[in-house]
Structure 1
Amino acid sequence: MFNVSTVDTIVWDFDGVLNRNIVDGKFTWNDGFEAEFGQSIETFNEMIFNDKFGEVLTGEMTLIETVSDWAGTVGYQGDLMNLIEYWFQNDYNLDERVMGWLAASKRSNMRNVMGTNNEAMRTQFIAEDLGFADRMDRIFASGLMGVAKPDEAFFNMVSDELAVEPDEMLLIDDNQDNIEAADACSWQVHWFDGEDYDGLEAKLQEVGALG
């Protein structure tokens, strides 16, 4: 069993932990898409979030390329950057309670970083427009790293880059595959299911992140 007192760095997942952008099984930004752009959101999701989206998440293919492929297929001739901006602007619903704990952890002098599966454009939006560049000590994003969770290389790259022993890292994530992969890399882990706030608060208190 890990000694929780040795936690040096908390790695926060974005979507599903800090950001609650899925409600009743669908992305919040999907509402209003068809009225705004006159296109089927079902078709958009099917063409964007398919097996090839993994290449977008790791930077092998850009988001604008895959959205352009969709536009060419359905005959959409609008401004693609405007569409992507609509997506980003309507795809965040920050969890106030978890954000409060992040702020408390930062005040406690715990190192806090983000570990997220996001491509470069949305990562920039998260960092700059949503202000996470100031809220986090570092942001580790799959689109900039060339590897995505749950690949163990993601976790090894983060701990190596920070020069922190793996068992001094704590991952907070909503995806059980990511949790299992981090655990296999000797990280400490906490699975947040989006409902057990008491459990997450207790874990943060246990590692000294809440003062």
Structure 2
Amino acid sequence: MTIDAVIFDIGNVLIEWNPERFYDWQIGRANREAMFAEVDLHRMNDLIDAGAPFKETIYEWADIYPDWADEIRMWHDNWIDMASPRIEGSIALLRALRLRGVPVFALTNFGIHSFAYAKTQYDFLSEFDRAYVSGHMGVTKPDPRIFEMLEEDCDLPPDRLLFTDDREDNIAAALARGWRCHRFDGWQGWAHRLVAEGLLTEKEAGL
């Protein structure tokens, strides 16, 4: 069956996202483990992804946990170091699809202000035909509603959407709506799937 649009997650698909690695580098593993045990920083980030303000939310959490205030503020002040590096193979696939005239969307858990900032640092984030950003939508993956909202906006049948994401819960939610999916575990596997679907040649996919 024809694919009408290819949908990319961003974190750990187009940009590496590993806050633990960043903090291990900055403050050492033992300190990082102690901080994450005391402060649910991923919950803080979930609030931002759902639409809470970027800097204000992080700085408020820093005030709540003064023992870790400087480290928590790094989530904002050093954010681009945390959301890096680029995954060049995936970016090349995005661009190859667009050269073939295949519509390419983003569906990402990302804050309003953090996404706007990321677009100033990563040129490819402005290259999607449509970008569905959770902060603007007010709902995050894997909530079924975010997938439904994308379908309503693009008006394409679920079984003609091909979605890649690194998280199993997000893939499961998309499969439940009838999307075609690929669990991302490296750009090469994603490239092979795009070739198998007839969307790219091996040469175009960099294989």
Q: TM-score range by the shorter chain?
A: 0.7 to 0.9
> Would you say the 8 A contact 1:172–1:191 is kept in 2?
yes
Structure 1 segments, 4+ long, off by >4 Å, are: 40-46, 75-78, 80-83
1:146-193 per-residue CA deviation (whole Å, 9 max, x = no partner) reads: 011111111111121112111111110111111110011111111112
**2:163 aligned with 1:171:** yes
Higher helix share: 2
Q: Is the CA contact 1:27–1:91 (under 8 Å) kept in the aligned structure 2?
A: no
8 Å contact 1:57–1:117 — kept in the other structure?
Answer: yes
| Structure 1 portions without partners, runs of 5+ | none
Provide the residue aligned with 2:55 in structure 1: 64
**Counterpart code for 2:7:** V
Instruction: Point out where structure 2 has 5 or more consecutive residues left out of the alignment.
Output: 202-207
TM-score (norm 2): 0.81
Is 1:114 equivalent to 2:110 in the alignment? no
Shift, 1:117, TM fit: 0.8
Is the contact made by 1:17 and 1:95 (CA closer than 8 Å) also made in structure 2?
yes
The match for 2:23 is 30
CA distance in 2, matches of 1:117, 1:101: 21
Q: Deviation of residue 20 (structure 1)?
A: 2.3
Query: Is residue 197 of structure 2 the alignment partner of residue 207 of structure 1?
Result: yes
Q: Secondary structure at the match of 2:149?
A: helix
Aligned to 1:14: 10
User: Structure 2 vs 1, CA of residues 90 and 54 (structure 1 numbering), >3 Å: closer, same or farther?
Assistant: closer
Quote the offset at 1:93 in angstroms. 1.0
What is the 5 A alignment of 1:83-98? 84-98=76-90
- d(CA) in 2 for partners of 1:70, 1:44: 12
How many residue pairs match? The answer is: 197
- Are the structure 2 counterparts of residues 134 and 32 from structure 1 closer, same or farther at C-alpha, using a change threshold of 3 Å? same
- Aligned pair in 2 of structure 1 residues 184, 93: CA closer, same or farther (>3 Å)? same
SS in 2 for 1:179: helix
Partner of residue 143 from structure 1, selected from 115, 135, 140: 135
Tell whether 2:120 aligns with 1:124.
Answer: no
SS at match of 1:114: strand
TM-score, L = length of structure 1: 0.80
Matching residue of 1:186? 178
- Coordinate RMSD, CA, aligned: 2.7
* Alpha-carbon offset, residue 9 of structure 1: 0.8
How much does 1:66 deviate? Answer: 2.9
Question: What secondary structure is seen at the aligned counterpart in 1 of 2:104?
Answer: strand
